[in-house]
Amino acid sequence: MPKESNVTEDRLHIQALVPLLVLSIVEYEVFTFSKATVTAANQDAWLSILIGAFIGSIFVYLFIKLAARFPSMNYFQYLQIVWGKPIGFLISVLYLLFWVSFLSSIFYETVLINKLLFLPLTPTIVPLTIFALSLIWLVSYGLIPIIRFFQLLLPFLVIPLLFLGLLFLVTIKIERFLPVLENGILPVLKGSYLFLGAYQGPEVLLFAAPFFLRIREGVKASLLAYNLTVFLGFINTVAAIGILCVDNIKEAVLPGINVVNLLELPGFPVERFGLLLTLPWLIGIFTTLAIYLHLLYSGVFQLFKLRPQKWILFLVTAIPVTIAYFFPNENLHEVLRLYLTVFTVPMVYLLPVMTLLLAIIRKKGRVR
């Protein structure tokens, strides 16, 4: 397996941050988080997203500032410099546990999608094995090949979703967004929190920073990538409210699929638009699994001073796959997703900003 310590020989241009962040953030929940956001804010969920996007953009900007202080190190490496070895090690272990839970949830969602949309009679172990083996093959080559793979897949994710957004415009009913702020601002703020919680992924740039040339110049690319994913989520939520209405969203299992199935364009040569959502959905799930499996794998051998070996990758992959296989039911999965959403804000957003503030106070890392 190629050693990533040779990254200085093959660093990526800063523009590669766009596919990395877009495909790290977009996954199963981005197409269903409208349910949680709408449950909190009702028809004002669109406002929750705008507020959450502004807050999230500030966090992404600060992430670049943090990465720029330690341009040749990843997040786990300078956590122990900034916080001290015991606390830094403990925080890193918390991330590993968080990623195991997150990966277990997404692996389980691959089974759900297969049952709902593709091959409902196929045994659970089949899609799990296919995903696991293909991910092991990709992750074994290291982060740079993963990012280059993301660059190839980005158009197949974004173009169908943007086209769907155009189709939604002719079907949305404006009256379903009224009255604005019917229940005040607090539900909107709660919806903003849930929006941020649905967007795991921006912290990936803290681990990928050493693989990029001049990471300090990555503000524009990072903000572009983050807000592109926000725009895709915004389209999905506005369409869900304007087509399904709030009450139907709360009762739906997969609002994104329901919205697409209701699209009717008389005279249009295509009658079913499911592929425009399911293809990006599968791409989003696979790429998110790939990047987080890489982070989990590299984090394990980095924290515990192990040599990168394939048997470790197989073992690390087997843990979330096994959890997903023995997951008892969809209700428990929804509970896990809710906890992950709640804990994403402190783990993904607040801890890196606290690390930046502490690094500034303790004068750690580069100032410029």
Total H helices, total E strands in the chain: 16, 0
Residues 114-136 as b or e (16 or more Cβ within 10 Å = b): beeeeeeeeebeebbeebbeebb
What is the C-alpha separation between 232 and 23, in angstroms, rounded?
A: 12
Residue pointed to by tokens 């989520």: 233
Q: What is the CATH number of domain 12-362?
A: 1.20.1740.10
Cα torsion 272, 278, 280, 281 to 10°: value is: 150
DSSP annotation of 15 reads G
**Contact 15/203 with Cβ under 8 angstroms?**
no
According to the model, what pLDDT value does residue 9 have? 47
What is the C-alpha separation between 251 and 171, in angstroms, rounded?
A: 20
**Contact 188/47 with Cβ under 8 angstroms?**
yes
Domains in the chain: boundaries: 12-362
| Alpha helix ranges (H) inside 143-261 | 143-169, 186-198, 204-208, 219-239, 246-251, 255-261
Residue 174: which residues within 8 A CB-CB, separation 6 or more?
242
Q: How many CA atoms lie within 13 A of 333 on its CB side?
A: 21
According to the model, what pLDDT value does residue 8 have? 43
Q: How many CA atoms lie within 13 A of 284 on its CB side?
A: 28
What is the C-alpha separation between 355 and 359, in angstroms, rounded?
A: 6
Long-range contacts of 120-129 (CB under 8 A, 24+ apart): 124/325, 125/325, 128/321, 128/324, 128/325
Q: How many CB atoms lie within 10 A of CB 256?
A: 23
According to the model, what pLDDT value does residue 98 have? 96
According to the model, what pLDDT value does residue 272 have? 60
Q: What is the pLDDT along the chain (368 residues), one digit of tens a residue?
A: 344 444 444 678 999 999 999 999 988 666 665 678 888 888 898 999 999 999 999 999 999 999 999 999 999 999 999 999 999 999 999 999 999 999 999 999 888 877 777 777 778 888 899 999 999 999 999 999 999 999 999 999 899 888 888 887 777 888 888 888 888 999 999 999 999 998 889 999 999 999 998 899 999 999 999 999 999 888 888 888 888 888 877 777 677 777 776 666 655 545 566 667 778 888 989 999 999 999 999 999 999 988 888 889 999 999 999 999 998 888 888 888 889 999 999 999 999 999 999 999 999 988 66
Task: Write out pLDDT tens, residues 216-262.
Answer: 999 999 999 999 999 988 888 888 888 888 887 777 767 777 777 66
